[in-house]
Amino acid sequence: MRFDVLTIFPAMIEGPLSTSIIGRARTAGLVTIATHDVRDYTDDKHRRVDDTPFGGGAGMVMNAQPFFATLREGLGLNEKDHDDAHIVLLTPQGQVFSQAKAAELAGKKRLVLLCGHYEGIDDRVRQTWVDEELSIGDYVLTGGELAALVVIDAVARLLPGVLGHEASSVEESFSDQLLEYPQYTRPAEFEGMTVPDVLLSGHHGRINNWRRQQSLVRTYKNRPDLLQGRCLSFQDGELLRA
Ligand code: ADE
């Protein structure tokens, strides 16, 4: 899968994208990630990429021209026909990103992520190019770069081969709409704190029951919204009551 990121601050994302699992996936050729500095495509002689908003008001708005030029010249895309590229605008005005959305995007061949700054991007960019607007949550960041990193990370880890264990992206929070159970590793006693006996018992049935119960209790306490309107099995009901 290929990702293209349009930004005026490529340095904000290049480090994280060269580190850890995503960095390794790039080196292994499992994903291709290209960053494009929108400022390189401005036709302004002072290399400006923003201007004051029509109608007045505080802040600056990013010009349409450098985004159009980056998409056309840098990425070779055509606004009338870019079927192979799914173009996403990161903005607090978008739909909230989720695990389900990450799974959907992982099915695309090419994702193009547009990062805005200041008071946003001239809306003609959205009208002309954008297939989908995404927000990573109900708060305002200084720009779309951190949001683009979140989307790339969540999508890339779902691609075949990116995580070492195929199972690890499946058996985790949100695949089942429940939060994950607590994990422990060696030593069995650390600074006087022990590990729940059941995890040392070697009894897989009891371990699975305990984990399911912990997931249910955590979800009930921390994210009751995830259980709203959901029908629990008789067994899950028993675990939650226990
Ligand atoms: N840009 C600024 N804030 C954002 C957010 N919450 N999500 C996506 N892009 C953003």
Complex ipTM, two decimals?
Answer: 0.99
For residue 180, the Cα-to-chain-centroid distance in whole angstroms is 18
37 pairs with which residues across the strands? Answer: 7
Cα separation, 213 vs 181, whole angstroms: 8
CA–centroid distance, residue 176 to ligand 1 (Å)? 26
Atom of ligand 1 nearest to the CA of 137: 6
Residue 173's pLDDT is 63
How is residue 14 written in tokens?
């290049």
CA dihedral in degrees (125, 130, 136, 142; nearest 10)?
-10
Pocket of ligand 1 (CB under 6 A): 90-92, 135-137, 139-141, 143-144, 147
pTM: 0.95
CA–centroid distance, residue 231 to ligand 1 (Å)? 33
CA–centroid distance, residue 39 to ligand 1 (Å)? 20
140 is in an annotated binding site: yes
Cα separation, 134 vs 148, whole angstroms: 9
194: buried, middle or exposed (CB in 10 Å: 19+, 13-18, 0-12)? exposed
Residue 118's pLDDT is 84
Name all domains of the chain by residue range, CATH numbers in brackets. Answer: 2-156 (3.40.1280.10), 171-241 (1.10.1270.20)
Task: Tell me which residue of 190, 191, 212, 187 sits closest to 200, measured CA to CA.
Answer: 187
CA–centroid distance, residue 90 to ligand 1 (Å)? 6
Pocket test for ligand 1, best of 126, 136, 142 (most atoms within 8 A of CB): 136
Nearest C-alpha to atom 2 of ligand 1 is from which residue?
141
Residue count of the chain:
242
Pocket test for ligand 1, best of 146, 149, 150 (most atoms within 8 A of CB): 146
Residue 135's pLDDT is 98
CA–centroid distance, residue 192 to ligand 1 (Å)? 43
Q: Contact, 65 vs 40, CB < 8 A?
A: no
CA dihedral in degrees (36, 37, 40, 44; nearest 10)?
130
Per-residue pLDDT tens digits of the chain, which is 242 residues long: 999 999 999 999 999 999 999 999 999 999 999 999 999 999 999 999 999 999 999 999 999 999 999 999 999 999 999 989 999 999 999 999 999 999 999 999 999 999 999 899 999 999 999 999 999 999 999 999 999 999 999 999 999 999 986 556 665 666 678 999 999 999 999 999 999 999 999 999 999 999 999 999 999 999 999 999 999 999 999 999 98
Residue 171's pLDDT is 54
138 is in an annotated binding site: yes
2: buried, middle or exposed (CB in 10 Å: 19+, 13-18, 0-12)? middle
158 is in an annotated binding site: no
